[in-house]
Amino acid sequence: MAPALNAARFYPQWLQSIEAQEYDNLEIILVDDGSDDEQSADGLSFLTRNAPMSLRYLQQDHRGPAAARNLAIRSSAADYFAFLDLDDLWARGTLHRLAAVLDEHPDAGIAQGLIRKFFTAADDKLYYCSESYRFVNLGASLFRRQVFDQCGLLDESLRFGEDFDLIIRCWEQGIRKIDVPAVALLYQRHDHNMTNGKSTVELGAVQVYKRRLDRMRAHLVDPAIIQARRVSFPDYIGRTVGPFDEGLKEALEW
Choice among 42-56, 80-94, 140-154 with the minimum mean pLDDT: 42-56
* pLDDT value for 201: 47
Q: Reply yes or no on whether the pLDDT at 104 is more than 80.
A: yes
CA–CA separation, 164 vs 154, rounded Å?
Answer: 10
Name the percent of the chain lying above pLDDT 70: 87
CA dihedral of 15, 109, 102, 156, whole degrees rounded to 10 = 0
One CATH from 2.40.170.20, 3.90.550.10, 3.40.50.150, 3.40.47.10 for 2-251: 3.90.550.10
Long-range contacts of 166-170 (CB under 8 A, 24+ apart): 166/138, 167/136, 167/236, 167/237, 168/208, 168/212, 168/233, 168/237, 170/109, 170/110, 170/236
- pTM, whole model, 2 decimals? 0.89
* pLDDT value for 95: 97
Q: Reply yes or no on whether the pLDDT at 209 is more than 70.
A: yes
Burial of 241 (0-12, 13-18, 19+ CB in 10 A): middle
Domain boundaries, the chain: 2-251
Buried b (16+ CB within 10 A) or exposed e, 123-133: eeebebbbebb
pLDDT band at 193 (very low <50, low <70, confident <90, very high): low
Contact 113, 94 (CB under 8 A): yes
CA–CA separation, 237 vs 211, rounded Å?
Answer: 17
Choice among 1-15, 177-191, 239-253 with the minimum mean pLDDT: 239-253
Which H or E run contains 183? strand 176-188
> What pLDDT, in 10s, does the model give residues 161-173?
899 999 999 999 9
Which H or E run contains 171? helix 162-172
Contact 109, 177 (CB under 8 A): yes
Name the percent of the chain lying above pLDDT 90: 61
Q: Reply yes or no on whether the pLDDT at 63 is more than 80.
A: yes
Q: Reply yes or no on whether the pLDDT at 244 is more than 80.
A: no
The length of the chain in residues reads: 254
> What pLDDT, in 10s, does the model give residues 116-162?
999 988 888 999 999 999 999 999 999 999 999 999 999 999 988 89
